[in-house]
Structure 1
Amino acid sequence: MSETYRALRMDRHADTFRAATDIVTLPVTAPGPGEVRVRNLWCGINAIFDTQIARDAVDYVKIGLPTFTGVEALGMVEAVGAGVEGLSVGDAAVTTRFTGGYREENTGPAANFVKVPDARPEWLVLASTGVSALVAMEQIGEIRDGETVAVSAAAGGLGHLLVQLAVLRGCHVIGIAGGPEKCEFVRALGGARVIDYRSEDVAQVLASEYPKGVDLAFDTVSGAIHDAFLANIANHGRLVVAGAASDLDGKPELVTAPRIAHAIYYKSASVRGFMNGLLTTHWPEARARLFDMFRQGQIKVCLDAGQFDGLEGIHDAVEHLLSGKSMGKVLARIAAP
């Protein structure tokens, strides 16, 4: 075993994640009581969050410098401290805790890790993005069987799982995606109507084809997509805001329009924010159900085709995701099993 490992550390704020972070070499530490040490194999990429922390623009939590980076990782347990139960050397384990992702080794409280069946990256996606999708859909969206559900960025890491989970509930799913390849991908997942926002007007399609409105919509984009969802929400409909990707460059768009009360009051509709970190009590049950769905072949995890290797590849992976070219979940491979 090497006595050192490497990690991505942010020592300064900058306009991009690449400019804000450096690869540093650190000593491997033995786990103390209640801790484990995990050698990371895969990490999940959260490019918008990464960029926002680089810019010191995450207003819901202040992150001091220097800080390690990355949220999601899957690896193998290498050492176990005294008093740890449920994790043993050789187990595959996932963490979804900030600073545990973009590093080759991770020593921390055993409570920060979840044992998974093996080292396949699909378990990482289910335990992180999958949990977000299911919790957002059920706890915030309060989905009901057979509803009309719209999903923005439907070909993305979160979106492709939202589509499948809604289809399993017997819902009519409207997927929003950009370009023929992504649209075909969403159709293959079960999307009943896929709107190519590059060649179709989303608001016009919803108004003409869904005169009764959309029961549940998931917005991770903001801007025109958010406006289209809000204008076409059904009576008692719910619009779940889980991100604002279009506002990443510069300041959020300033809008001069009637207050939202006028859009939702007569419909008894609602707009709801989703922040997964405030819903941790729901994670274990959601994770267990998702693992069962995956084992039974009810859902599939689609990994983006991009290959990003080592810590050096994480910057490229972040920029790939921000480019809008990705389909499925973007991962970087930290090391071979």
Structure 2
Amino acid sequence: MTEQNRRILLKARPTGRPGPEHFELAETPLPEIGKNEVLVRHRFLSLDPYMRGRMDDSASYSAPVKLGEVMEGECVGEVVESRNPAFSPGDWVGGARGWQLYSAAPGHTVQKLPGVEGVPPSAYLGVLGMPGTTAWVGVTEIGQPRPGETFVVAAASGAVGGVAGQIAKAMGCRVVGIAGGAEKCRYVTEELGFDACLDHRGDLGAQLDEACPGGIDVYFENVGGAVQEAVFPRMRDFGRIAFCGMVAGYNVRPLPPGPNLTSVVRKRLRLQGFIVSDHPRAWATWRERGAAWIRAGKLRWKEDVAEGLENAPDAFIGLLEGKNFGKLVVKL
């Protein structure tokens, strides 16, 4: 093979908003594979908000990316060479292989994509991948909504929020989404089937009072910031909040103070943060359930596709500013 591997490296650590200067595009020879490894040509790269935390040299639930190393990310692609009896050239696989065109992967670090009729391979980075599984865990294990309850989800047009609301709707809840702009709100109600969607660019508190006159039973938190400030005082007694992400604060240094937590005691609220990697058994459960819903036409999703590895940094910067519409992937 004469093709070169192209990679996006972490060049410098941002102190606030990332910029193009924090990334570097580099070319290297194709990696050579060893025993029980496969050479994978990546076809799609997932871009997700958690990657901003990996750019910082600070303690978190996962180690930061080192300077000069490939940016972390999930990919799906095709096996082009194999020294592992479990894989053959042409197999589609997924795994955390980074922002690059090729990777040499030990067999245990990638999984064959099962394939669902009518579902593109990129869906295993979104609706049937980490975001979809995150939504399943946050709703069913953390929020635990009951039929008739009011379920509110931030970033409702996004990869996690859109699936979370559909799961809650299937469980019998009245589902209210929060998104940015009229176009996204129309998509949430008309395509995803939410009962209402509120534009956070307006008077969100007044909109919540109108859409949730009895208060909020379950809140799926993806955003934090001003959205959280509007939702928090409208939680009902014994409400539950599943903290999935706080993207509004990812570029803010120092971090802003949190809400007044007096109501946690007064309203007997249950607040729990979670990381989907702590729930390994949920992946197979959701993939089976989600695939069945897709086949039955009961689960919808949207992808926002950037073209070319070289455009991944700009697409990622836009993701942190809410410029994407749906699950953001890069077609490689």
TM over 0.5: yes
User: Distance in 1 between the 2:21 and 2:56 partners?
Assistant: 10
User: Distance in 2 between the 1:215 and 1:111 partners?
Assistant: 41
For 2:287, the equivalent position in structure 1 comes to 287
Cα 1:281–1:2 change in 2 (3 A) is farther
**The one of 105, 108, 112 aligned to 1:111:** 108
For 1:245, the equivalent position in structure 2 comes to 247
Cα deviation, residue 250, structure 1: 2.3
SS in structure 2 of the partner of residue 217 of structure 1: strand
Cα deviation, residue 24, structure 1: 1.7
- Which 10-residue stretch deviates more, 217-226 or 116-125? 116-125
Cα deviation, residue 209, structure 1: 4.5
For 1:121, the equivalent position in structure 2 comes to 122
SS in structure 1 of the partner of residue 21 of structure 2: helix
Cα deviation, residue 167, structure 1: 1.8
User: Distance in 2 between the 1:223 and 1:326 partners?
Assistant: 19
Cα deviation, residue 316, structure 1: 2.0
For 1:6, the equivalent position in structure 2 comes to 6
For 1:296, the equivalent position in structure 2 comes to 296
Cα deviation, residue 110, structure 1: 2.1
**One-letter amino acid of the counterpart of residue 124, structure 1:** L
User: Distance in 1 between the 2:32 and 2:148 partners?
Assistant: 52
Q: Give the root-mean-square deviation of aligned CA atoms.
A: 2.2
For 1:265, the equivalent position in structure 2 comes to 265
Describe the superposition over 1:206-250 as per-residue Cα deviations: whole angstroms up to 9, x where unpaired. Answer: 345434321211111112222232212223211111111221232
**One-letter amino acid of the counterpart of residue 121, structure 1:** S
User: Distance in 2 between the 1:75 and 1:237 partners?
Assistant: 42
Cα deviation, residue 3, structure 1: 5.2
User: Distance in 2 between the 1:62 and 1:160 partners?
Assistant: 28
SS in structure 1 of the partner of residue 237 of structure 2: strand
For 2:173, the equivalent position in structure 1 comes to 171
**One-letter amino acid of the counterpart of residue 111, structure 1:** H
Describe the superposition over 1:122-167 as per-residue Cα deviations: whole angstroms up to 9, x where unpaired. Answer: 2321212111111221222223344311011111222222222222
Cα 1:105–1:209 change in 2 (3 A) is closer
Cα 1:148–1:9 change in 2 (3 A) is same
Judge conservation of contact 2:221–2:245 (CA < 8 Å) in 1: yes
User: Distance in 2 between the 1:319 and 1:225 partners?
Assistant: 21
Structure 2 unaligned blocks of 5 or more: none
Cα deviation, residue 103, structure 1: 0.7
User: Distance in 2 between the 1:17 and 1:34 partners?
Assistant: 38
For 2:307, the equivalent position in structure 1 comes to 309
Runs of 4+ in 1 over 6 A off after TM superposition: none
User: Distance in 2 between the 1:58 and 1:295 partners?
Assistant: 41
SS in structure 2 of the partner of residue 101 of structure 1: coil
SS in structure 1 of the partner of residue 144 of structure 2: coil
Cα deviation, residue 39, structure 1: 0.5
Judge conservation of contact 1:75–1:119 (CA < 8 Å) in 2: no
| Count of equivalent residues | 322
- Which 10-residue stretch deviates more, 312-321 or 139-148? 139-148
User: Distance in 2 between the 1:169 and 1:111 partners?
Assistant: 35
For 1:194, the equivalent position in structure 2 comes to 197
For 2:142, the equivalent position in structure 1 comes to 140
Alignment pair present for 1:155 and 2:157: yes
Judge conservation of contact 1:174–1:193 (CA < 8 Å) in 2: yes
Judge conservation of contact 2:31–2:102 (CA < 8 Å) in 1: no
User: Distance in 1 between the 2:58 and 2:222 partners?
Assistant: 17
Cα deviation, residue 17, structure 1: 5.3
- Which 10-residue stretch deviates more, 216-225 or 204-213? 204-213
Describe the superposition over 1:53-88 as per-residue Cα deviations: whole angstroms up to 9, x where unpaired. Answer: 334356333323332113221111112223x43x33
Q: Percent identity?
A: 27
SS in structure 2 of the partner of residue 330 of structure 1: strand
TM normalised by structure 2 equals 0.88
**One-letter amino acid of the counterpart of residue 108, structure 2:** A
User: Distance in 2 between the 1:3 and 1:326 partners?
Assistant: 31
SS in structure 2 of the partner of residue 67 of structure 1: coil
**The one of 320, 324, 327 aligned to 2:325:** 327
Cα 1:172–1:204 change in 2 (3 A) is same
